[in-house]
Structure 1
C-alpha cells in the first residue's frame, strides 16, 4: 500500500468532512505502517507526518472494528497501529453552558449524550482518565492539561453512589474521577 495512492483515493472520494466510513466495507488490503502514538502524533514508516491537513484527512476515515483500527476508503481498507485511541482532547471551552472539546485533529464536539465522557483505567499512570466519544465508536483521551483545568472547575458531589469530581455540559453530567 502506497501512502500517496491512499491520499489520492481519499481526496477523490470524500466530498464531506467526515466520510461515511461505517457504510464502506471494502476488501482488506493489509497493514500500512501508520502509527498513532499515545500523545496523538501520527507517524508513517517511523517518521512524523508533518502535514496537519494530511493527518486530518486520514483521521476522517478511521474505522474501528473487531478491536482493530483501519483507514477505509470506498475501495480499500488498511490496518494501522494505534497506541491508545486515535484522538486526544487538547482544548475545551464552555459555550452557553455546554462544554465544547477539540481534538488534536481539529474535530470539535459538544459533550452530552451523543458525545459522552467515560472514565477508563490507565495502566501507565494506574489512574482513571476521562475519554470522550468523538464519533462512531472512536474515542479521544482527555489531555492532562484539559483534565487539570476541569479539576479546577469540577464540583465535588455524589455521583453514581460515589463522591466524585463532577462537571456539567448543559443537562449532561459526568464525572472526571472519584475523590
Structure 2
C-alpha cells in the first residue's frame, strides 16, 4: 500500500462526529500499519509527502484523530493506525481571549485548528526554557497528552498579563486562569 493509499483510506475510515468533541481515539487500538510521510511543523503546518496540506478542513479532520503514544504520534481510526512526525507540538495556540481579572481571570486560547481551550487545572500552561538560549517555549495542554505551542505573539500577551506571586520563597511572574496560577518565569532582579 502506498502512502497516498494509506492517507486516502485513513480519511474514509474517520467516523463522522455528531458534536464538536473529537472522536474517542483513546478507545481505539487497531493494528499499526507503519509510518506515512506526514509531518506537522513547529509552526503548525501539516505536510504530506513534503507538500503543505492546503485544505484547512482536511487538516482539521486529521487533527481530530491524532494521538500520542509515549514519544510517538499516530493518526488512528477504529481499523488502522499510522505513525506521523511532529516537530514540536501538534497544535499552535494562535490567539487569546481574556475574561475577567486577577484570580478570577479566564484565559481562552484558540488553536490553529480552531479548538478552544480554557487554561485551568485540566488544561495547564507550562513554560520550558531552552538550556542554551534560555528562550521560553510555552505550551498548553489541549487534549490528553497533546499540547499546543503558544505562538510568540500570544506569549507576549501573557507576559503583559503577568503578575508576581511568591512560590516557595521565590518571586515568579505568571498568569491566573480558572483559579489556577501558571508560572511563566522567575521575576527578574
Q: TM-score range by the shorter chain?
A: over 0.9
- Aligned partner of 1:69 in structure 2 is 73
- Residue 125 of structure 1: how far off its partner (Å): 4.7
- Residue 159 of structure 1: how far off its partner (Å): 3.1
Change beyond 3 A, Cα 1:124–1:41: farther
Q: Deviations over 1:117-149 (max 9, x none)?
A: 112233685323221100111011111000111
- Residue 161 of structure 1: how far off its partner (Å): 3.9
Which is further off, 70-79 or 126-135? 126-135
Q: Which runs of 5+ in 1 are unaligned?
A: none
- Aligned partner of 2:123 in structure 1 is 115
TM-score by length of 2: 0.87
Change beyond 3 A, Cα 1:42–1:123: farther
Q: Which runs of 5+ in 2 are unaligned?
A: none
Count of aligned pairs: 177
Displaced runs of 4 or more, over 6 A: none
Secondary structure (helix, strand or coil) at the match of 1:71 reads: strand
**Larger of the two Rg values belongs to structure:** 2
TM-score by length of 1: 0.92
- Work out the CA distance in 1 between the residues paired with 2:165 and 2:99: 23
The RMSD of aligned alpha carbons is 1.6
- Residue 160 of structure 1: how far off its partner (Å): 4.4
